[in-house]
Amino acid sequence: MILLLTGLYTGGVGFAVEVHDEAPVLDPVWEDVMEVSFRPESEHTRVMQGDGEAAWDLALPRADYRVRYCARGMDEGTELSTRAAEEPQVDSYLLQFWPAPPSPDGVIRHTSRLAGQLHGYARATPRTPEQRAEAERLTREVFQRAAEERAERAAEERRLHYEMWEWGGRLPSERLRGARESNVLDLLRFDSDLVHALDAVGPEVQRAVASVAARRACEAAGLTGLPWVAQALSALAEGRPLPSPFDDTERLRETLRSDPRVPDTSVLEAIPPERPPYVPPTSAGTRSEVVVMHPAVTPRTPGRISQPHFALPAVLAAAGPAPLTAALDAVSHALHTYGQHYPELLEEIRSVCGERVGSIDAALRIRTTPPRLVDITAVVPQLASLARTATRLHPRPGSPTPHDSSVGGPLLWPADEPWPYCEKPHEWDRVNEILSPDDVRQRRRIRAAVANRPGGDPPVTRYTSEELAIEERINAGRPWPEGPIAMLPVAQLYVRDVPLLRPPGQAEADLLQVLWCPFDHPAQPETALFWRSAAAVTDILDTPPEPPSVQFPGYLPEPCLLAPEQITEYPHFMELSKELQRQLEDWRRWQATGTPLDRADTPCSKAYYAELYTDRLSTAPGWKVGGWTRWGLTDPEPRLCSSCGTQMDPLLTIASAEWNAHIPDWIPGQDQARSWSSTTEPDPSNPTMLDLARGYDLQLHVCPVSPRHPHIELIQ
């Protein structure tokens, strides 16, 4: 392995690779040059990005090579650190190979400070032949481990891909996986959305669903007039143990067989709707089309089934100890009791869920943050007084209306109130393409279709000719807009969904609307906040104006519905007193709580515990209301009201991502598997498809004295 370092930390650099038959002439343009010897370990030598997201095969035969690495602008790249796509390139690199016998490493030319530091470190670390051999052995082990991990990950991705198909397009929670011994797989064939909704609604609704399903099954079978069935249904509704004969399955079967009052009702059996065949994923680098085999299936004529024999198991299932299993099994048995009329039952079950959570869609949007690794107040009790409540909004793609809390959805805007425009100047950088909102939406639809379409790699092979033509038209761009720009809806939040929103001095206000100008002012969109009473809006503006273009596609939010969840947050590490910081850095405090640290009982550096607290225990990522400020781009700084000097409070965080896949602690349980297995668009970690300041968040702070005082925008 050859590790290639660049001056730039994040972003694109100039990079080229050349393979020669003999040593090439060294171009004087290169400021830093060094050479090493190299022999490939296999037939597949690749240049790979540090994050592993892309690689290029060099097709080098297994032989001895001399390798020259040339650099220009390393110090400029180091100083810039992060380069956006629209910024000019500052550092460039050339990697050259040619056949040559092994010889000592050599620095051919040294100009930059960074290269000098790296060479100095290498020279100060001499290695004996034994140490070199050990380093090579460790390197081989690392690569072998990496290959095994890639194979395991590929196998896991294939498993999850099939599992997602099996479960109706959504990966199951661990609760559903644990319910495989129930009738869940049977119910999945009829209504996968209902299965996932029943998992999300919680034990109380699950019990209600189980009871309704059991009663409807007995009604459909004509059993409710039998005293021993009526008593069981009453006990079920009241949460009491089932009476005889339901307390003994053999006795129940005998009663069902011998009681002459049991009606001989039957119905044509339920046949699930046909589902699309499973299409396996295409392996990376494969261009061939996937062939899906459709097995020959002879249409089956529904037979007649005895309704009482399915209805009574629904009662038994509804009384089971586990609420989720009780609901799944009771609905499954009731569904078969209804037979060909099963859609009537499923519609009622959906209504029962809807009465509790609004709708099946609302149930499917529910998101729950996993418990923290440790109760941080057990490590540092003084933090308890600094706890704040925050509301994670958990935006998920949907079709919001003006009456919903949403991101990027339509606003409850009065028809007689002027729509806000940005009157400030807007300057084009003459680098980025200019797109209209419809251009962005159309491109997203196409790319989502391509991402979810089976076919070869690269993705361009999966485009239709019509899609390629549309992309070409969009890439041509639009004229730079002149004059005032209509602002875009960013968020609409009802207090009924987010109680933390109550503005000071405006008891009647129960709705916050956030809009922005989709152009930089100076480095991010400029926002406008509007508080209003929803009841006062009787005539809604049907078609609000849209800007003719947006500066970046990431400034147009994708419409999302919300699933608000309240959590507890603590201040960022750098906002704590020195004494609290010292306590958090004391490894003995963590050990005393039995925290399952990555390093077991071995004391780590102080920075390890500071990062552990900051990343995993203090402030949540993603869209949220309230809580504590999430720092990262800069150290904490005062946020004082320009009107009265009062310390301002965090109001709303507008996020570029809901979580960082490398810190899974904040990923909702419902998204844990999809966080890295999904290849769909939008990515589960960024359903709004926003991209602010190259992946940072825009945090809005407001004055607690008056909502009329100007708010603060903070990029972090």
Instruction: Identify the pLDDT of residue 680.
Output: 53
Are the C-beta atoms of residues 479 and 314 closer than 8 Å to each other? no
526 strand-pairing partners: 517
Instruction: Identify the pLDDT of residue 477.
Output: 85
Nearest CA among 25, 115, 29, 123 for reference residue 68:
25
Evaluated on CA atoms 222, 336, 213, 228, the torsion sign reads positive
291 strand-pairing partners: none
CA gap 253, 336 in Å, rounded: 18
What are the structure tokens assigned to 548, written together?
């003719």
Secondary structure of 621-683 as H, E, C letters: CCCEEECCCCCCCCCCCCCECCCCCCECEEEEEECCCCCCCCCHHHCCHHHCCHHHHCCCCCC
Are the C-beta atoms of residues 678 and 684 closer than 8 Å to each other? yes
Secondary structure of 273-326 as H, E, C letters: CCCCCCCCCCCCCCCCCCCCCCCCCCCCCCCEEEHHHHHHHHHHHHCCCCHHHH
On the CB side of 291, how many CA atoms lie within 13 Å of its CA? Answer: 3
Nearest CA among 709, 88, 29 for reference residue 429:
88
Instruction: Identify the pLDDT of residue 52.
Output: 62
- 3-state secondary structure at position 258: helix
Q: Which residues are CB-neighbours of 385 under 8 A, at least 6 positions away?
A: none
Nearest CA among 334, 61, 384, 107 for reference residue 212:
334
55 strand-pairing partners: 48
What are the structure tokens assigned to 553, written together?
């596609």
What are the b/e assignments for 45-57, b being 16+ CB within 10 Å?
beeeeeeeeeeee
Per residue in 336-355, pLDDT (tens digit) is 999 999 999 999 998 888 77
Instruction: Identify the pLDDT of residue 545.
Output: 97
- 3-state secondary structure at position 17: strand
Per residue in 76-127, pLDDT (tens digit) is 998 888 887 767 889 999 999 999 999 888 899 989 988 888 887 777 776 7
Nearest CA among 282, 283, 285, 281 for reference residue 44:
285
Are the C-beta atoms of residues 690 and 682 closer than 8 Å to each other? no
Type of residue numbered 23:
A
Are the C-beta atoms of residues 135 and 127 closer than 8 Å to each other? yes
Q: Report DSSP letters for 198-249, one per residue.
A: HHHH-HHHHHHHHHHHHHHHHHHHT-TTSHHHHHHHHHHHHTPPP-TTTT-H
Instruction: Identify the pLDDT of residue 455.
Output: 64
CA gap 415, 536 in Å, rounded: 12
CA gap 343, 359 in Å, rounded: 17
Are the C-beta atoms of residues 699 and 650 closer than 8 Å to each other? yes
Residue 348 host element (H or E): helix 342-357
10-residue block means of pLDDT along the chain (716 residues)?
89 92 91 94 83 77 94 91 80 95 90 85 76 78 75 80 86 87 93 90 90 96 95 93 94 94 95 86 46 51 92 96 96 97 93 72 80 93 96 94 96 97 87 89 89 66 87 88 95 94 81 96 93 95 95 94 95 96 91 70 76 94 96 90 94 94 85 56 87 91 91 94
CA gap 692, 406 in Å, rounded: 19
CA gap 213, 236 in Å, rounded: 11
Which phi and psi angles does 435 have, rounded to 5°? -120, 145
Instruction: Identify the pLDDT of residue 287.
Output: 38
Nearest CA among 343, 351, 86 for reference residue 205:
351
Nearest CA among 263, 259, 171 for reference residue 220:
263
CA–chain centroid gap for 499, Å, is 25
CA gap 99, 63 in Å, rounded: 7
Write the DSSP symbol of residue 685.
Answer: T
CA–chain centroid gap for 227, Å, is 52
Instruction: Identify the pLDDT of residue 21.
Output: 92
Are the C-beta atoms of residues 226 and 218 closer than 8 Å to each other? no
What are the b/e assignments for 371-391, b being 16+ CB within 10 Å?
eeebebbebbeebeebebebb
CA gap 104, 115 in Å, rounded: 18
